[in-house]
Amino acid sequence: MKLSLTEIAEKKRRGEKLVMVTAYDHPSAVLAEEAGVDLVLVGDSAADNVLGYDSTVPVTIDELLVLVRAVARGAERAIVVGDLPFGSFQVSSEEAVRTAVRFVKEGGADVVKLEGAGRALERVQAIVGAGIPVMGHVGLTPQSATQLGGYRAQGRTAEKARRVLADARALEAAGCFALVLEAVPAAVAARITEAVSIPTIGIGAGSACDGQVLVWHDVLGLSDRPPARFVKRYAELRGEIREALERFAADVRAGTFPGDEHTYAIPDEELEAFLAGS
Ligand code: KIV
């Protein structure tokens, strides 16, 4: 049974933490589902984590839709959040609705997420008005990292913190059902979490948020980049995978793989007939 947005909202009221993780393919979605996560985000972070881009900016709608479809096929209970990529919602509300509809209709996403406030508020209203729930995202919004002065924490002065709080309130008023708070001081995130009635999901925003999200490659230690301050690695799979591949390569080169147990047999008489006739 799919989790409902009412249950998500209830969890905030009951003080139960929400768990979200990114996933970009079917096996990962199935694992996230088995682990009992509440929301699976097909983030535009697929750009740098799986598609080899050096930022989230270049990833296209079509590239993300392939991943959203794969994840949606694996997530029965968890809510699938499709992340609207840069350029797919900024130009007009009509285009924003069209993109969101594609994520739901072609991708199988349950809801969409978009970055920013300001002009994005109108887009949120339009998408929600079209019947598609929207998750907001404030603080560090990687799609506009250049404008924000790089990948750095936001809201670190009273004035800037007030701006993030105002954006969060405005996104709630525009109709968002939840909000990602990325890279804002813990105390600021705590105040925002108190000030809005929708759940906040933090990444680098401290423990007072209503939930937490981490990127798949970070949480599992699959990335070759040094982790951001807010990342906690729960496994070191990169090393394990490389070692497994090195052992496979060594076995192939030594002729010890495949063994008899990995090969198919043919009855002796069939083999004799085959060899005689070849
Ligand atoms: O794309 C992404 O992975 C995200 C998370 C960092 C929240 O937006």
User: What pLDDT score was predicted for residue 149?
Assistant: 85
180 lines ligand 1 (CB under 6 A): yes
47 lines ligand 1 (CB under 6 A): no
Backbone dihedral region of 135: left (phi > 0), alpha (psi from -120 to 50 degrees) or beta?
Answer: beta
Query: What residues contact residue 87 under an 8 Å CB cut-off, 6+ apart?
Result: none
43 lines ligand 1 (CB under 6 A): yes
Query: What residues contact residue 68 under an 8 Å CB cut-off, 6+ apart?
Result: 42, 80, 82, 103, 107, 108, 109
User: What pLDDT score was predicted for residue 150?
Assistant: 87
Residue 41 Cα to ligand 1 midpoint, Å, equals 7
Nearest CA to ligand 1 atom 1: 43
203 lines ligand 1 (CB under 6 A): yes
Nearest CA to ligand 1 atom 4: 43
User: What pLDDT score was predicted for residue 199?
Assistant: 98
Q: Which residues participate in catalysis according to the annotation?
A: 182
Residue 153 Cα to ligand 1 midpoint, Å, equals 15
Q: What is the pTM of this model?
A: 0.96
User: What pLDDT score was predicted for residue 225?
Assistant: 87
Which among 22, 79, 111, 179 is the best mutation to test ligand 1's pocket, defined by most ligand atoms within 8 Å of the CB? Answer: 22
- The CA-CA-CA angle for residues 121, 123, 126, to 5°, reads 115
User: What pLDDT score was predicted for residue 278?
Assistant: 75
83 lines ligand 1 (CB under 6 A): yes
Nearest CA to ligand 1 atom 2: 43
* Residues in the chain with pLDDT values less than 70: none
Residue 30 CB neighbours (<10 A)? 16
